[in-house]
Amino acid sequence: MNGHAKNKINWTIAKDQNYTLRCNLCFSWYSELCNPTSIQTCPVGQDAYGAVNLTRPVQRSFRQCMNMAVCRGFITTPGVYAICCSTDLCN
């Protein structure tokens, strides 16, 4: 079996076994986006990863697993800069 076929089979098996995605995790009390300090395995229902920078009224930043709808809500919130994605370690 060639490498391409083997990778496709591994991906299919992982998907069928409710594979959970992995996400960079960090929190900061400052407005600059924090540097990842660990890796989080996302629980069921949290299908996205967010990198969020709150600039007002508080200055905080974090990277973590979350629901995609919640992450998209951050994107449309004034005073917040956010990136949402849904692949391993994309945040």
More confident residue, 10 or 64: 64
Range of the domain at 53: 21-85
Q: Is 91 inside any structural domain? A: no
Give the number of domains in the chain. Answer: 1
Q: Say whether pLDDT at 10 is over 80.
A: no
Q: Is 8 inside any structural domain? A: no
What is the average pLDDT value for the chain, to the nearest integer? 81
**62 close to 80: Cβ distance less than 8 angstroms:** no
Q: Is 52 inside any structural domain? A: yes
What is the full DSSP assignment across 32-45? SPPPP-EEEEPPTT
Q: Say whether pLDDT at 89 is over 70.
A: yes
pLDDT at residue 19, as a whole number? 60
What digits encode the pLDDT tens for the residues 31-50?
A: 688 999 999 999 988 999 99
